[in-house]
């Protein structure tokens, strides 16, 4: 069976060495030494100031909303995983959906301003499949209306924009470290910020609001990452160069084989190569169904990321035409570190025959 992705498993002995360190220290959670090491190494690797690791990517988003005191309406994209919207609703916020660009598949920055009302407090764009949003234009709008910008950057680990990390844009960026992601900690996530003040606020929020043995400064929750997850993250981070290299080669092989049979996402010219996913766009939803059936007959399982468009799921009155059309015609093909040319060639052959 070939799934859409496979979690990267590092060398077992290497992971065991980190586990031995946990047993030696007796420190299992609560900001342990491996977590501190991971946060510093991630900050260095990503080129950002503050990386605060948390239990998962959904909590990262919820903590971001709390840290910036987001209220009322939030302008966001309907073309994303459910967590982008569900976390807003969980926090009592109202997602207001802005349609996407038909080429980049990111939020359409030219359509944001007309959706702003007196109740709007923030914009939550998504770097879809790691493709950088029009960050300067979005920030210009946010500055004009005194709005906060929180990027759901779950797909954008290691993505560069104009030579620097795309995670440095906005007030906060959030990451998911789920096992299916390019970089993972089994379960986990992180909140990224360049602000010392915001980072301090986040650290309070993820630890019940507790700041000392006898000090509680407001509300908080338990969003901490434990030492065993941090250990996995350290192992995976050591191997990132090889992981990225293998996925880059697989994507090149896919594109060489598929040629003009399908369409691809238009990636921002100032970004580096994207290797988190391999989405293709087909001519119709019927073509998607045909290809899925043909692949599944060979026990190959692609995924329809992202279907359905969330404006139809969470009761929005704003129909987002591009998002709905693209969500019906998109398919993510298998992409993981152990793929070989034979498998990719077979997948591409089945797709061509199924179209």
> 318 pLDDT exceeds 80?
no
H or E element that contains 236: helix 227-238
Instruction: Report the share of the chain in percent with pLDDT over 70.
Output: 99
Q: Name the pLDDT band for 316 (thresholds 50, 70, 90).
A: low
User: Residue 24 and residue 36: Cα distance in Å, rounded?
Assistant: 16
Catalytic residue positions, numbered? 181
Single pTM value for the model: 0.97
> 53 pLDDT exceeds 70?
yes
- For the sheet containing 172-176, what is the strand order? 50-54, 189-193, 172-176, 148-152, 120-124, 73-76, 94-97
- Please tell me the predicted confidence (pLDDT) of residue 319: 85
> 180 pLDDT exceeds 70?
yes
> 317 pLDDT exceeds 70?
no
Closest CA to 124 of 195, 62, 48, 176: 62
């Amino acid at each position: 069976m070939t799934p859409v992705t496979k979690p990267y498993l590092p060398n077992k002995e290497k992971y065991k060495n980190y586990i031995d360190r946990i047993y030696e220290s007796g420190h299992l959670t609560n900001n342990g030494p491996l977590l501190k090491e991971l946060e510093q190494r991630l900050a260095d690797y990503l080129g950002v100031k503050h990386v605060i690791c948390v239990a998962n990517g959904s909590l990262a988003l919820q903590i971001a909303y709390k840290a910036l005191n987001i209220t009322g309406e939030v302008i966001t994209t309907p073309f994303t995983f459910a967590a982008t919207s569900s976390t807003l609703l969980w926090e009592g916020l109202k997602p207001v959906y802005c349609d996407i660009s038909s080429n980049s598949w990111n939020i359409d920055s030219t359509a944001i301003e007309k959706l702003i009302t007196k109740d709007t407090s923030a914009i939550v764009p998504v770097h879809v499949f790691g493709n950088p949003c029009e960050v300067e234009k979005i920030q210009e709008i946010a500055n004009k209306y005194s709005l906060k910008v929180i990027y759901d950057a779950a797909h954008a680990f290691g993505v560069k924009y104009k030579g620097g990390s795309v995670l440095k844009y906005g007030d906060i960026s959030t990451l998911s470290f789920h096992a299916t992601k390019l970089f993972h900690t089994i379960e986990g996530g992180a909140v990224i910020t360049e602000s010392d003040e915001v980072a301090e606020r986040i650290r309070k929020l993820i630890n019940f609001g507790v700041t000392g043995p006898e000090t509680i400064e407001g509300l908080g929750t338990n969003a901490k990452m434990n030492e065993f997850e941090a250990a996995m993250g350290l192992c995976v981070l050591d191997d990132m160069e090889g992981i990225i290299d293998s996925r880059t080669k697989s994507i090149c092989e896919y594109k060489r084989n598929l040629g003009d049979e399908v369409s691809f996402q238009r990636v921002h010219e100032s970004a580096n190569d994207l290797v988190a996913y391999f989405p293709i766009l087909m001519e119709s939803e019927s073509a998607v169904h045909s290809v899925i059936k043909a692949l599944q007959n060979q026990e190959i399982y692609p995924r329809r990321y992202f279907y359905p468009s969330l404006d139809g799921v969470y009761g929005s009155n704003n129909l987002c035409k591009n998002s709905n059309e693209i969500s019906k015609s998109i398919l993510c093909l298998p992409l993981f570190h152990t793929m070989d040319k034979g498998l990719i060639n077979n997948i591409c052959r089945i797709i061509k025959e199924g179209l």
